[in-house]
Structure 1
Amino acid sequence: MIDTLELTPIPPAYDAFRAEVRAFLNDALQDMPPERRARSWMGFDPDFSRKLAQRGWLGLTLPKEYGGAGKGAYARFVLSEELLAAGAPVSAHWIADRQSGPLILKYGTDAQKSFYLPRISQAEAFFCIGMSEPNSGSDLASIRTRAVRTEKGWTLNGSKIWTTNAQHSHYMIALMRTSGEPADRYKGLSQLIVDLSLPGVTVRPINDMAGDAHFSEVFFENVACPADALIGTEGDGWAQVNAELAFERSGPERLYSSMVLLETWLKYCRRHRLGGAHTTAALGKMVSWLAVLRLMSISLAGKLDRGESPAIEATIVKDIGTEIEQAIPRLIGDVLGAEPAAPTDIALMRALSYLEQLAPSFSLRGGTREILRGIIARGLGLR
C-alpha cells in the first residue's frame, strides 16, 4: 500500500550548495546553445562528467570510504535539479550515479563495492540498465535472457532492448533468468554486472526521429562472466529491480526534460513583450503543474534521505511527470502557432523541434504509462 507522502521543503542548509552549483553551470554552459541544452539529461559528455567528479559532485550519496561524498538524498536532488534546469550534458554518468551505485551499495559484496563505487564517483565507470527485452513489450517478468552457472562463473545468452547509452557504457546491470522458465514469472530472476567489452557482447544503437541514438539493442552470445558478476542473492532479482526502479523514478529528471525549452520560450516572451491570453493560459498551466510535482518529488527525496524506498509513490510522480514533460512542447508549439505575426527565434524553434520529436519517448523510459498505472493500482489495492 502507499504510505502518506509528507510534503517537506529542501532544508535551507542546501541553499549555499545550490548557489555553488548554479555559478559553476553558468560558467561551464555559457556558450552552449539552447538546442544542445534541450537534450537535458540525455546529453552525453564524459569530459563534463569528469569535471563534476573533480568537484566531488558524483556519488554524493555514496559513503566516503567508497569514494563518495557521504551526503544525503537532498544534496543529490539539488544538484540534479540545477543540472537539469541548465540542460547540462550529464547522461554519461547519470545512470551509474542515480541507481547503479546505490544498488551495488545496497546489495553488492564488499569486493563489488570497493571496485565499482570509487570508479562511479570518479566518472571512470559508466553503466546502463538491462531490463526490457524484444518481443516482451512492457512485461518485464517474462524475460528470456538466461545466465547459466558454470564451473568458472556464468554463460549469458539472449538480448536486451531500449538500453540507454549501452554503446557508451562500460557495464550493464542486467536482469537475467538464472532458473526456471518465462512462465515462472518473478521466480528465478537475478541481476548480474556485465562487462560490455567481453567477447560475445554486441551493441546496436537505435536511431530516433531526432537523429540521436540514445537507445540500443544488446545481444549476448555465449558471454562468459566471472562468478562474482552476480549482484545480491540469486533468485532475488525481481525485488532488487523494484528497489532500483525507485531510484530511477524518484528523481527530478522525470519532470525537467523540457525545462530548457520552457526557459528559452520565457526569455523569448520577455524579449518581445509577448503576454497575450494564449501565453498566459499556457504558462499558468505549466507552472501550476510543475509546482505541485516538484513538491512531490522533493518529498520522495525526503523518504530516500530517511532510508525508505518509495517505490509506489515514485511511480505516481513519474507517471504524472511524464504528462507535463510531454505537454510542454505541445503547449508552447500551440502558443507560437496562435501568434503567427510574432518574431521568429531560430534557437527557440530548434529546441522546440527537437523536443517535439523526443517527447514521445518520455513515456517509454522508466516504464510505460500503462505498466506504471498497473503498479499504482496494485499499490492502492485495486487489483
Structure 2
Amino acid sequence: MQALDIRPCTLDPRSETLRAEVRAFLSETLRDLPAAERARNWNGVDESFSRKLGARDWLGMTWPRRYGGHERSALERYVVLEELLAAGAPVNAHWIAERQSGPLLIRFSPDNLAPRICPGIARGETYIAIGMSEPDVGSDLAAVRTRADKVAGGWRVNGQKIWTTGAQRAQHMVTLLRTCPRDETNRHAGLSQFLVDLSAPGITIRPILNMLGEHDYNEVFLEDVFVPDHDVIGQLGDGWKQVGAELALERSGPERYLSSTQLYLEMLEVADPHDARQTVSLGRVAARYAALRQMSLGIAGMLARGESPAIAATLVKDQGSVLEQSMPDLAHELFGGLRTSGSPLDQTLHYITQTAPSFSLRGGTREILRGIIARGLGLR
C-alpha cells in the first residue's frame, strides 16, 4: 500500500491580509443577499458580480500577466475562494472557466488559445462550459462517441453532450471528442479536446431542469459544427491526458466540502447553547470541517510547490461530499426539519435538501472516485 502524504500548510501574512480585504468587500457587496440566495453557494449566478471580482484582480490570480493574470500565489487564491464560499457569493458564471478551463488552455495551448481566451476569463466576462459527459456513457469518459472528422481548414463535429453546466450563458465549450476510431486495446487513445464556439451554426442547447425546477444543466447537440484547426487544444490524441489534468483542478478546491456551509451557519445561528445534543452534534461537524480544511490547504500547498494533487484532491472531494450531504439530515434531526416560517434556516434547508443528491455526482461519482483512490494507493 502506498502512502498519501498531504503535508500541513500554513497561510502567510500576505494571504491573511488579503482575507480581511476580501471579507470587507463581500460584507458590503452582498449585504442584501438573502439566505435563499446564499444557500446556492457556488451555484449562484450573477455576471455583474463576476465582473466585479475581475475588476479587483481576484480572477486568474495565479496566471501569468500575459494571459490577463496577476501572478499571485496559489495560497492567496485559496483565501479568496474560502471567503467567497463562506459568504455564499454568486460565482457560478465564471467558476468553471477560472477554475479549470483557463489553466487548461495555459498549459496545453499557451501560444494560441490562452492569449485569446484567458484575459476575458480574468475580467469575469468570458464563460466556458465543459463538454465531457454523454448519454449512455455515464462516468466512462473513454466511451465518448461524439466525433470530429477532418475537413479542409478544420473539423466537422457531430454528437451530443449532456449535464453541461452553464452552456446557456457560456461563449465556449471545452469538448472531449473522438478524432480516431475506438481501439479496444487502448480505450484512451484517439481522444482530443477542442474549444467549441457555442454560437457556431449547428449547435442546439436544451435545458435540463434540476429538482428545484432551475436551469443549471443542459444537453448540447452538435450537428455538422465546424471547428477550425486553431481551436484544437494541445495535441491531437492527448485528450485523455488533458482531461485528467482538468479533473484534478475540478476536484482540488475548497468548494468540494463547503457547498453546505450556509446551512451550517444558519444552524449555528439558531442553536441553543444550553442544548447538549445540539452543541455536541454541531461541534463534531466543526471538527470535520477543520480536518477537511487542513487537507484542502495541504492540496493548495502542493499546487503552490508545483506538485500534482490528483489523488489527494480526489480523497478530499469524496469525503467532502459525505460531509455536505449529511448536513440536511442533521438539520432535520436537531431542528425538526422543514417548517413554514420562511426563516433563513428554513429557506436554506429547503434548497440544500433538494440539491444535496448532486454533491456526490458532480466532479465524478462516489464509486468512480473511490476506485481512483484505491488505485492511487496501490490497493487495486
Contact 1:84 1:257 (8 Å CA) reproduced: yes
Contact 2:160 2:219 (8 Å CA) reproduced: yes
Q: Hey, what does 1:225 align to over in structure 2?
A: 227
How has the CA–CA distance of structure 1 residues 109 and 68 changed in structure 2, closer, same or farther, with 3 Å as cutoff?
closer
How many residue pairs match? The answer is 378
How has the CA–CA distance of structure 1 residues 29 and 232 changed in structure 2, closer, same or farther, with 3 Å as cutoff?
same
Unaligned runs of 5+ in 2: none
Task: Give the Cα–Cα distance (whole angstroms) in 2 for the partners of residues 234 and 287 of structure 1.
Answer: 46
Contact 1:278 1:338 (8 Å CA) reproduced: no
Map 1:1-383; keep pairs closer than 5 Å: 3-181=4-182, 183=184, 184-269=186-271, 273-337=272-336, 346-383=343-380
How has the CA–CA distance of structure 1 residues 192 and 265 changed in structure 2, closer, same or farther, with 3 Å as cutoff?
same
Contact 1:62 1:70 (8 Å CA) reproduced: yes
Name the stretch that deviates more: 181-190 or 57-66.
181-190
What displacement does 1:331 show? 0.7
The aligned amino acid for 1:143 is: V
How has the CA–CA distance of structure 1 residues 328 and 338 changed in structure 2, closer, same or farther, with 3 Å as cutoff?
closer
The aligned amino acid for 1:312 is: I
What displacement does 1:281 show? 2.8
What displacement does 1:211 show? 2.1
Task: Give the Cα–Cα distance (whole angstroms) in 2 for the partners of residues 222 and 27 of structure 1.
Answer: 48
Task: Give the Cα–Cα distance (whole angstroms) in 2 for the partners of residues 93 and 335 of structure 1.
Answer: 36
Partner of 1:168, secondary structure, is: coil
The aligned amino acid for 1:248 is: E
Q: CA RMSD in A?
A: 1.7
Task: Please give the TM-score of this superposition, normalised by the length of structure 2.
Answer: 0.96
Name the stretch that deviates more: 360-369 or 182-191.
182-191
The aligned amino acid for 2:158 is: N
The aligned amino acid for 1:249 is: R
Task: Give the Cα–Cα distance (whole angstroms) in 2 for the partners of residues 146 and 186 of structure 1.
Answer: 14
Contact 1:268 1:345 (8 Å CA) reproduced: no
What displacement does 1:261 show? 1.4
Task: Give the Cα–Cα distance (whole angstroms) in 1 for the partners of residues 102 and 73 of structure 2.
Answer: 14
What displacement does 1:71 show? 1.0
Name the stretch that deviates more: 260-269 or 141-150.
260-269
Contact 1:109 1:231 (8 Å CA) reproduced: no
Contact 2:23 2:83 (8 Å CA) reproduced: yes
What displacement does 1:285 show? 2.2
Task: Give the Cα–Cα distance (whole angstroms) in 2 for the partners of residues 289 and 123 of structure 1.
Answer: 33
Deviation by residue 1:91-139 (Cα, 9 ceiling, x = unmatched): 0001111010111111014121210111111112101111111101211
What displacement does 1:268 show? 2.0
Task: Give the Cα–Cα distance (whole angstroms) in 1 for the partners of residues 29 and 228 of structure 2.
Answer: 41
How has the CA–CA distance of structure 1 residues 55 and 243 changed in structure 2, closer, same or farther, with 3 Å as cutoff?
same
Deviation by residue 1:156-182 (Cα, 9 ceiling, x = unmatched): 111111111111111111111111227
Name the stretch that deviates more: 57-66 or 182-191.
182-191
The aligned amino acid for 2:335 is: L
Task: Give the Cα–Cα distance (whole angstroms) in 2 for the partners of residues 182 and 77 of structure 1.
Answer: 40
Contact 2:338 2:350 (8 Å CA) reproduced: no
Task: Give the Cα–Cα distance (whole angstroms) in 1 for the partners of residues 162 and 53 of structure 2.
Answer: 29
What displacement does 1:12 show? 2.5
What percent identity do the matched residue pairs reach?
52
Partner of 1:362, secondary structure, is: helix
How has the CA–CA distance of structure 1 residues 139 and 353 changed in structure 2, closer, same or farther, with 3 Å as cutoff?
same
Task: Give the Cα–Cα distance (whole angstroms) in 1 for the partners of residues 338 and 71 of structure 2.
Answer: 51
